[in-house]
């Protein structure tokens, strides 16, 4: 098992919500089966509640008739010895017996329905746990990992279907319990009757289930950028997954956005479900931060997209020790308030959705370190953590998996085992290339705070610059495997000394941030041979590194094409075979002289001295 496979297993153990090892298809099938069973039980409860209501209506009519006969018999209008009195007394007794029977029948039916609802609430809790704590939480975690380049199977539409069906079941059963409460009130049953004591508890249970579902279903469908530059336009989208079934879309609510600090995020967590005041939760000023949700009939979605937000001001906390502004994390908090239902059956909701952590910067040169903070947080945030705590040290295996994921998403191809071994030796400041670093612990400080030996930049600075250069200028070469890249100078020399003259290797520079160099094997120049008095001695030459500025002037394949000293891409591929499709042959088709102005065209050629 290689280092990436090991890291995948370790990541699943440390950062995923409990119980998500179940396959997606198996989990979806189980949820669907539960929904089908609960719908059936709900329909049965509805039918039984209707029957119970009908019996109650008959019972009320009989009770009224019995009361009328009692009044008539006690009024003294009929002689107790008369036939009419005996007839009324007989009818009264018959109604009394019917009332006793219907009363007992109602008690049994209500008791049976209560037991059904008790079982229903247990099943709904389990179903809601599967939908919210497993599936929706997994979706949120996958959304966070996608910020590091992980594949994101976006199944939010399916989760919305589950949430809506679950909401409908809860709402219907809550209304059934309310009808039973009305039946109980009309019967004047004694309060000590056990089934009747359960009614308020059941009603409260359904209300809590609905409350949890509604608040959890307010989600950020499209996260704001996690590195946020002030006075720069950005966007985000929020969605209410139960908005249509509960008819929230009829009167769409307004959503507002504020930015909160780590301390405010912790305060928000401590307050729990209690109502919050917007004025308590703001650490900056966001323009265009208020929008009304829209109902999209074709998709059945209730959502709102903020397309033109801009962070105008930010209030920062005091820094401690070596902390910088690029270490400080914030979150965008989306707010909304609305009412579901009407009259006494209505529920008022305040829903909040905090975004993934964001780092606020004011200059472009702060971006690399800010992305390091986000990368570490996305990868190693533990499930259910206190905002925004992350471990200070992580196993290299997990970090290697994260770097591979990020590089693959940015540059089109992942990192090999040899690439990762090279990165490990660089990150741990080790000269050995064959050590097993998979269980070694890498600290945050080693990763992006402490400069590499004899360098002014950190490991992350170097890796980020290499990734940026590859993405923007060397992506095709990297995908083709023509760019070896992650290899030390010493290893490159060892490989080339075993190769034919003119063989070359493309590697990332150790000394130039965001630089790429070419090493090739050649015969020592004449002057050096005379000094050394050796004939035919070979050396590995290294080109001064190219940066993006150089490659924008003339591409790396064209520069290699120009260099007569370079013949074969390691191990033995002719350079025209390896790079021919990338050559810019524009100069070959140029006319000798411009017929309009008489100018002679020209083009740049890369020349290597010696």
Annotated domain spans of the chain: 17-216, 220-366, 481-610
User: What is residue 334's three-state secondary structure?
Assistant: strand
Architecture of domain 481-610: 2-Layer Sandwich (3.30)
CA proximity to 3, closest of 390, 415, 430, 376 = 415
Percent of the chain residues topping a pLDDT of 90: 64
* pLDDT on residue 220: 98
In this structure, the number of other CB atoms found within 10 A of the CB of residue 483 comes to 22
Alpha-carbon distance 191 to 180, whole Å? Answer: 14
Model confidence at 416: pLDDT above 90: yes
* pLDDT on residue 95: 74
Mean pLDDT over 215-226 rounds to 97
Q: Does domain 17-216 have CATH number 1.20.58.100?
A: no
Identify whether the C-beta of residue 141 lies closer than 8 Å to the C-beta of residue 15: yes
- Report the relative pairing of strands 301-314 and 233-240 from DSSP bridges: antiparallel
Taking the CA atoms of 117, 122, 123 and 129 in sequence, report the sign of the dihedral they define: positive
CA proximity to 311, closest of 225, 232, 220, 222 = 232
Q: Do domains 220-366 and 481-610 have the same CATH topology?
A: no
Alpha-carbon distance 247 to 338, whole Å? Answer: 11
Confidence of residue 607 (pLDDT cuts 50, 70, 90): confident
H or E element at residue 36: helix 24-74
Architecture of domain 220-366: Sandwich (2.60)
* pLDDT on residue 526: 43
Model confidence at 230: pLDDT above 60: yes
Q: What mean pLDDT, rounded, does the chain reach?
A: 87
Alpha-carbon distance 340 to 211, whole Å? Answer: 10
CA proximity to 117, closest of 207, 56, 205, 35 = 205
Alpha-carbon distance 507 to 516, whole Å? Answer: 6
Give buried/exposed letters for 371-392 (b at 16+ CB in 10 A, else e). Answer: bbbbbbbbbbbeeeeebbebbe
Q: 176-208 pLDDT, tens per residue?
A: 999 998 888 877 665 555 455 678 899 999 999
Q: 281-313 pLDDT, tens per residue?
A: 889 999 999 999 999 999 999 999 999 999 999
pTM for the model stands at 0.85
Higher pLDDT, residue 476 or 528: 476
* pLDDT on residue 535: 47
* pLDDT on residue 533: 40
Mean pLDDT over 317-334 rounds to 89
* pLDDT on residue 534: 44
Confidence of residue 588 (pLDDT cuts 50, 70, 90): low
Mean pLDDT over 256-270 rounds to 92
């Amino acid at each position: 098992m290689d280092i990436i496979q090991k890291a995948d297993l370790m990541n699943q153990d440390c950062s995923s919500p409990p119980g998500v090892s179940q396959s997606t298809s198996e989990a979806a099938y189980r949820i669907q089966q539960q929904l089908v069973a609960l719908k059936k039980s709900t329909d049965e409860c509805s039918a039984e509640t209707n029957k119970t209501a009908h019996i109650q209506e008959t019972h009320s009519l009989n009770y009224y008739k019995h009361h009328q006969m009692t009044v008539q018999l006690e009024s003294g209008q009929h002689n107790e010895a008369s036939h009419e009195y005996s007839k009324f007394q007989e009818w009264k007794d018959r109604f009394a017996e019917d009332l006793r029977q219907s009363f007992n029948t109602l008690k049994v039916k209500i008791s049976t329905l209560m037991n059904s609802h008790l079982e229903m609430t247990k099943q709904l809790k389990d179903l809601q746990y599967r939908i919210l704590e497993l599936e929706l939480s997994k979706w949120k975690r996958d959304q966070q990992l996608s910020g590091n380049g992980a594949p994101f199977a976006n199944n939010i539409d399916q989760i919305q279907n589950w949430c809506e069906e679950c909401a409908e079941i809860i709402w219907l059963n809550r209304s059934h319990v309310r009808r039973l409460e009305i039946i109980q009130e009309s019967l004047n049953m004694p309060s000590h009757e056990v089934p009747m004591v359960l009614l308020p508890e059941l009603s409260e249970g359904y209300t809590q289930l609905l409350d949890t579902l509604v608040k959890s279903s307010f989600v950020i469908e499209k996260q704001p950028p996690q590195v946020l530059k002030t006075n720069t336009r950005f966007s985000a989208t929020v969605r209410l997954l139960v908005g249509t079934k509960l008819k929230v879309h009829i009167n769409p609510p307004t959503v507002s956005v504020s930015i909160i600090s780590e301390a405010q995020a912790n305060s928000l967590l401590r307050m729990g479900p209690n109502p919050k005041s917007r004025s308590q939760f703001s650490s900056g000023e966001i323009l265009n931060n208020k929008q009304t949700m829209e109902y999209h009939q074709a998709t059945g979605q209730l959502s709102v997209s903020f397309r033109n937000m801009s962070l105008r001001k930010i209030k920062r906390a005091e820094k401690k020790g070596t902390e910088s502004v690029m270490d400080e994390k914030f979150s965008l908090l989306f707010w909304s308030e609305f009412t579901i239902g009407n009259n006494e059956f209505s529920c008022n909701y305040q829903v909040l959705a905090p975004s993934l952590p964001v780092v606020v910067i004011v200059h472009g040169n702060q971006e690399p370190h800010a992305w390091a903070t986000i990368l570490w947080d996305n990868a190693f945030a533990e499930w259910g953590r206190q905002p925004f705590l992350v471990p200070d040290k992580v196993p290299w295996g997990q970090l290697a998996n994260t770097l591979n994921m990020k590089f693959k998403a940015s540059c089109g191809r992942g990192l090999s085992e040899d690439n990762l071994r090279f990165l490990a030796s660089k990150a741990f400041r080790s000269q050995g290339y064959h050590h097993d670093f998979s269980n070694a612990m890498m600290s945050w400080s080693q990763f992006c705070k402490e400069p590499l030996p004899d360098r002014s930049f950190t490991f992350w600075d170097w890796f980020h610059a290499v990734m940026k250069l590859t993405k923007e200028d060397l992506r095709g070469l990297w995908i083709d495997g023509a760019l070896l890249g992650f290899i030390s100078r010493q290893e490159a020399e060892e490989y080339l000394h075993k190769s034919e003259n003119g063989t070359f290797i493309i590697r990332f520079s150790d000394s130039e941030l965001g630089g790429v160099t070419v090493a090739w094997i050649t015969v020592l120049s004449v002057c050096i041979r005379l000094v050394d008095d050796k004939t035919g001695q070979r050396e590995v030459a290294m080109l001064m590194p190219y940066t993006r500025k150089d490659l924008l002037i003339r591409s790396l394949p064209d520069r290699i094409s120009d260099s007569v000293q370079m013949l074969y891409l390691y191990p033995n591929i002719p350079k025209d075979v390896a790079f021919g499709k990338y050559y810019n042959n524009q100069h070959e088709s140029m006319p000798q002289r411009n017929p309009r102005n008489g100018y002679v065209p020209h083009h740049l050629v890369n020349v290597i001295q010696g």
